[in-house]
Structures are given as C-alpha cells and as structure tokens.
Amino acid sequence: MTTNHKELTNINIDNDWECYCQPLDDEADEKTIVSTANDINTNQYWSSIELPHIINTVKRPCKWWYRKRFDWILINQQYEQQFYLNFQSSDSHDKQSNINGTIWFNNIQIFSGSLVSLENPIELPSKLLNNENNQNNILVICCINTTLSLHTCLFIHGEIPYATGQVIIDEKTLENSKDSDIKSSNILQYTASVDNTDGRIDIIFNLNRKSKDISTSLKSLSQPIINENQTNEDKNNFDDDRLIPRLAIVILIVGTRGDVQPFIALGQALRAAGHRVRLATHETFRSFVRGNGLEFYPLAGDPADLMSFM
C-alpha cells in the first residue's frame, strides 16, 4: 500500500454495524449466513451495535457475525481509488489477545486470519465495489468464540468527491421530451472535491451535450433571474428547482466585534440557502454568534489584547 498522505483519507467506520450470535451447534453453514447477511431486508436475527464490541459475560462457544452496509457513489470514473480495511486495538488488553476472523466483501471472501497482527491493511478490491445509486456494499466479518473488540477504519487512497449532484439546463425541454437521451443531455452532473494541499474546491462537470447546445441553453439562463413583474411565488419556485450542493462551512475570524459582524450576515445568508455554517472566533463572541442562529467554535485570545497593538 502506498503512503502518500496527501491522497490518503482515513474514515472511522465504528458506527452502524449489526451483529448476529450463531451457536456452534447451529446447522447453518457459512455460505447461508453470508448470503443472509447480504440481504438488506433480513433483520430478524441482527441487532445494531457499535465497534469495538466488548461483551464479558458470554462464555459459550459461538460464532459472532458482523455486517455493515455503505454506499459509495462515483459518478466520474476518472477518480482512481484504492480501498483498504484496517483494525486497531481499543486498549492494551486487545493487544495481548488474538482475534481471528474471516471477511467477505459483497459476497466474496477477501481475507481469513488474525485481525490483530495485520502487517498491512486489507484491500477491498475496487472491482467488487458497487458504485450505483441502487446498490449497497456489504462488509461481513465472522469471528469464532470472540467478539470483534477492535476499532475499524477505511483507508481510501486517491481523490474523494465530497459532493455530487445535478443541474438542469433546460427545464422545458426536460418536461416535454420523452426521449431518455434528450433528457439526460439536459442535465449537468457535477462532482465537488477538496484539495487538502491548498484548500481549493475542485468542481468537475460531466457533460453529455455538445458545447454548442450547452452554450445556447446557458445563454438563456444568463438573463436576469428576477424582474419587476415576477411575483414572490415565481422566485420561490425558481430557487426550489435549482439543485445546490449543501456544504459544511467554517469561517475563521480573528479580530474585534466589528470584524465578526459582517460574517454574521454572510453566515445567515448561507444558512438560509441550506448550508451548515460555523464561525470560529474568540470566546467573547459566543453569545453574539449563537444568538444569530449560527454554530460557534472557540478560539483562544482576547480581542482587547489585539486592540492594544493597533
């Protein structure tokens, strides 16, 4: 596994697991259990848990089965990504004990052995990954006579899209046309990602139409959106029809109350558009920020000390 930290993302996946305790005298074989685990409509014997799963009272021989579902939508195939599963001990006790397990990914066995003494993370083959909207990815783990008392995380090597969506180019054409090709050509697919090296947001549009057709359609959109004769209802309908990616925005402000105040108004406007906004500034302004309906994160330092240098 390559270790370019600029392209390596570590995602904790301890939450939203389900487990099933199978007695050793149960006649159901591994193939049957794995098939059942991959059926997302089967919940009769599965209970929700979080990892690490630690139970000290159960001493009877059994198999502990764990499953986790997750979606991974990749619209633009230009993203080359590698996926790895890793386990980490929760405390010093886990480092002394051994946990053997067998792992299946989308019904295919990919690993069998010790989960504690892994030299390298376990690769999740990209060819097994379901990246369609209507397909789930199922991770299944079986441990014999022990629970999965480890933390789990997903290593992703490569650029990750943080937001995806669609923008309608020509709404009238989309409504009136019955041709699926014409409909698809009237929708722009976009993917937004963040470059951790310089903090820039990269937005890529996946275009299916010829550039001449697109420029013609976009020209009509470049006209003033609202004129004097439009009603408030028309404005609201226009806003509802535009698909906008919802962002989590943090604004860092070091300064006085006068420096913070303009960003209060900006944050409120962004929040009204559906974005999550947090202002990171001095503790003195906590009530000022929270009182205007925005999230707050405290920074050290006294604004009065800053003023003394001015």
Domain edge (last residue) among 118, 133, 157: 157
Whether residue 224 is found in the same domain as residue 252: no
Q: Could you tell me the pTM of the whole model?
A: 0.52
Does residue 259 sit within a domain?
A: yes
Within a domain: residue 50?
yes
Final residue before a domain boundary, out of 107, 128, 157? 157
Q: Do 130 and 172 reside in the same domain of the chain?
A: no
Higher pLDDT, 278 or 43: 278
Asked whether residue 198 carries a pLDDT value surpassing 70, the answer given is: no
Q: Is the peptide bond before 121 cis (omega within 30 degrees of 0)?
A: no
Domain co-membership, 146 together with 59: yes
Give me the amino acid identity at 37. A
Q: Is residue 1 part of a domain?
A: no
Q: How confident is the model at residue 210 (pLDDT cuts 50, 70, 90)?
A: very low
Mean pLDDT across 64-85: 74
In this structure, are 114 and 148 located in the same domain?
A: yes
Are residues 258 and 287 in contact, defined by beta-carbon separation less than 8 angstroms? Answer: no
> Exposure string (b/e) for 13-47, b if CB count within 10 Å is 16 or more?
bbeebbbbebeeeeeeeeeebbebbbeeeeeeebe
Q: Is residue 199 part of a domain?
A: yes
* pLDDT band for position 224 (cuts 50, 70, 90): very low
In a domain, 3, yes or no: no
The residue among 137, 157, 177 that closes a domain is 157
> Domain check: are 90 and 153 in the same one?
yes
- Which of 82-91, 134-143, 269-278 shows the highest mean pLDDT? 269-278
User: Which amino acid belongs to residue 139?
Assistant: L
Same domain? 34 vs 110: yes
Provide the token pair at 152.
Answer: 């789990």
Which neighbouring-strand residues pair with 21? 64
Which residues form the domain of 255? 248-308
61 and 114 housed in the same domain: yes
CA dihedral 298, 304, 307, 308 (to 10 degrees): -130
Residue 261 — pLDDT band, cuts 50, 70, 90?
very high
Let me know if 282 is exposed, middle or buried by CB neighbors in 10 A (0-12, 13-18, 19+).
buried
C-beta separation of 99 from 27 below 8 A: no
Residue 153 and residue 168 in one domain: no
Both 262 and 205 in one domain: the answer is no
Q: Is residue 16 part of a domain?
A: yes
pLDDT the model gives residue 52: 92
Do residues 205 and 149 both lie within one domain? no
* Tens-digit pLDDT profile for residues 269-287: 999 988 999 999 999 999 9
Count structural domains, the chain: 3
Q: Residue 156: name the closest of 14, 9, 13, 12 by CA.
A: 9
> What are the Cα distances from residue 183, in Å, to 73, 77, 175, 242?
21, 21, 8, 16
Please indicate, yes or no, if residue 21 is contained in any of the structural domains.
yes
Distance CA 138, CA 71 (A): 9
Containing 262, the helix (H) or strand (E) segment is: helix 257-272
Q: Which of 11-20, 234-243, 301-310 has the lowest mean pLDDT?
A: 234-243
Q: Is residue 126 situated within a structural domain? A: yes
**Residue 48 and residue 150 in one domain:** yes
Residues 36, 126, single domain; the answer is yes
> 72-76, 99-103, 216-220, 247-251 — which is least confidently predicted?
216-220
Per-residue model confidence (pLDDT) at position 38: 86
Q: CATH no. for residue 114?
A: 2.60.120.260
Q: Is the pLDDT of residue 130 over 60?
A: yes
Confidence at 122, pLDDT banded by 50, 70, 90 = very high
